[in-house]
Amino acid sequence: MEYIIEMLNITKEFPGIIANDDITLQLKKGEIHALLGENGAGKSTLMSVLFGMYQPEKGVIKKNGAIISIKDPNDANALGIGMVHQHFKLVHNFTVLQNIILGVETTRSGLLKMEEARQKVVALSEKYGLMVDPDAIVEDITVGMQQRVEILKMLYRDNEILIFDEPTAVLTPQEIEELMKIMKDLVTEGKSILFITHKLNEIKAVANRCTVLRKGKYIGTIDVAATSKEEMSEMMVGRKVDLSIHKKPMPQEEIVLEVNKLSIKSKSGSKHAVHNVSFKIRKGEIVCIAGIDGNGQSELVYGLTGLSPMESGQVLINGTDVTKWSIRKKNMAGLSHIPEDRHKDGLILDYNLKENLMLKKYFMPALQKHGFINFKKAKAYAEKLIGQFDIRSGQGVNTIVRSMSGGNQQKAIVARELDMDPEILIAVQPTRGLDVGAIEYIHRQLVEKRDEGKAILLVSLELDEVMNVSDRILVIYEGEIVADVKPEEVTTQELGLYMAGSKRSEVTA
């Protein structure tokens, strides 16, 4: 059997952890090969070894049967291996075209020759249906478009082996569908794809074979068509996973969060990002804000939490007007926030895990005296949360958060925010980029808080999550609430119509 890439018996170690323990992965030419595993199973590490970002302690890599050496990403590119990273590697104030050719510029007598590059980029984007404007500035385009720029970067370098690391973690359902089609087209054109994911639906939709990793070890390689999603998730987590939600009926009387006629200016242009929004959330209720990305959800949450100013309107927690309160004062009044962008708003990446877990409590008597932090107590507090929430890291409380897997970073935020025992929890995309085991866990945590009589505002782009977890759904479109419905009374198709703005209902809070 001719494999285009073989990674044989790869072992990669970091301080305190064996990230890849004797792993073998074989990619056939012209196939989409999925790499499945929980957060922290070693998937990204293995692909980073193939892309030359890490050197393995043991093992060899072969291309078309011959052993190759990949010392850095330039070697990988020269061998035709390209990678789209989970967190994109783009220069935000450059144009799309400048980003694509960065590092492989065509120059003549020291001058950049952009015209040929532009023609090649336009031809590639037409061939693969990646309609991206080469002159757009990267920070002005959507996340889905930024991903297409990353794909064009690989195609521009004539890469034949394409690695996609969690490519759908930040995309809307529509963009995911488009990406799946693009991946199939790439394979038709003779490319071979390695696809890291933990979304079983996506593996079923596009992959031919799938290799499963668990806790750094190789579990097996399966034929996707012949294997059920249940079997795959059990291989990945090591046990059966139950994603069904069990909620006890709650009497919903007391209003915890009340939002009245809230408007927030848009950062770009004169339009309002949020316009005249009102709603109430009661004790023991999970209210979900559903919508296509970019319809004002982020700005609404920024306004409610105090991360950005509100233009007009009022926010009440338990009947107290907190509109003009500082972020810390709102937190102390019972508001917790799991932010959408964990790197920007959720963590200080160069602090260790202990420091990140105590960010909301370091000034309280339990952790300090006369302004001096008691690090012994802080360590005990952090260890309690690490155990309770199963946060996995190489060096425990001393692990620098930047080095942790995305899913474990997310668990750290969830642990810190839930430990505040909030009256109202605002959770934005809390399961984005998480594996089924972690999703099951976080959904249980949310439902547990609800069953304790807490109020939860969930913002999600995943329709399955919206329908499963929420007691009530508010649909946001262009900064306005266009529907207030119960999940049992609405279909996903109807929700889709509301989200696309082609249907409105009389909204009553």
- Give the model confidence (pLDDT) of 152-202 as tens digits: 888 888 889 999 888 876 676 677 888 888 889 889 988 999 999 878 888
- Residue 508's pLDDT is 43
Do both 391 and 451 map to the same domain? no
Strand partners, 484: 474
Per the domain annotation, does 248 fall within a domain? no
Query: Which amino acid is located at 149 in the chain?
Result: V
Do both 120 and 71 map to the same domain? yes
User: 503 falls in which pLDDT band (50, 70, 90)?
Assistant: low
Do both 435 and 410 map to the same domain? no
- Give the model confidence (pLDDT) of 453-480 as tens digits: 999 999 988 788 888 899 999 999 889 9
Do both 11 and 69 map to the same domain? yes
Do both 12 and 157 map to the same domain? yes
Give the span between the Cα atoms of 300 and 303, in whole angstroms.
5
* Domain limit, last residue, from 190, 205, 237: 237
Do both 187 and 285 map to the same domain? no
Do both 195 and 121 map to the same domain? yes
Per-residue pLDDT for 282 more than 50?
Answer: yes
Record the tokens describing residue 175, joined without a space: 């963009």
Overall number of domains in the chain: 3
Per the domain annotation, does 243 fall within a domain? no
Do both 308 and 457 map to the same domain? yes
Q: Which CATH number goes with the domain that contains 17?
A: 3.40.50.300
Per the domain annotation, does 461 fall within a domain? yes
Per the domain annotation, does 507 fall within a domain? yes
Do both 216 and 355 map to the same domain? no
* Domain limit, last residue, from 359, 393, 421: 421
Query: Which amino acid is located at 286 in the chain?
Result: I
Provide long-range contacts, Cβ within 8 A and 24+ apart, for 185-188.
Answer: 185/128, 185/129, 186/128, 186/162, 187/30, 187/31, 187/32
CB neighbour list of residue 108: distance below 8 Å, 6 or more residues apart: none
Per the domain annotation, does 242 fall within a domain? no
Per the domain annotation, does 340 fall within a domain? no
Q: Provide, rounded to the nearest whole percent, the portion of the chain with pLDDT above 70.
A: 96
User: 268 falls in which pLDDT band (50, 70, 90)?
Assistant: low
Do both 37 and 155 map to the same domain? yes
Handedness of CA 302, 303, 307, 312 (dihedral sign): positive
Print the domain residue range for 405.
Answer: 349-421
Per the domain annotation, does 339 fall within a domain? no
| 445 half-sphere exposure, CB direction, 13 A CA radius | 25
Q: Which helix (H) or strand (E) holds 32?
A: strand 32-36
The pTM assigned to this predicted structure is 0.69
Do both 233 and 371 map to the same domain? no
* Domain limit, last residue, from 208, 237, 266: 237
Do both 24 and 152 map to the same domain? yes
- Residue 270's pLDDT is 65
Per the domain annotation, does 341 fall within a domain? no
For the segment 391-418, the average pLDDT, to the nearest whole number, is: 89
Per-residue pLDDT for 506 more than 60?
Answer: no
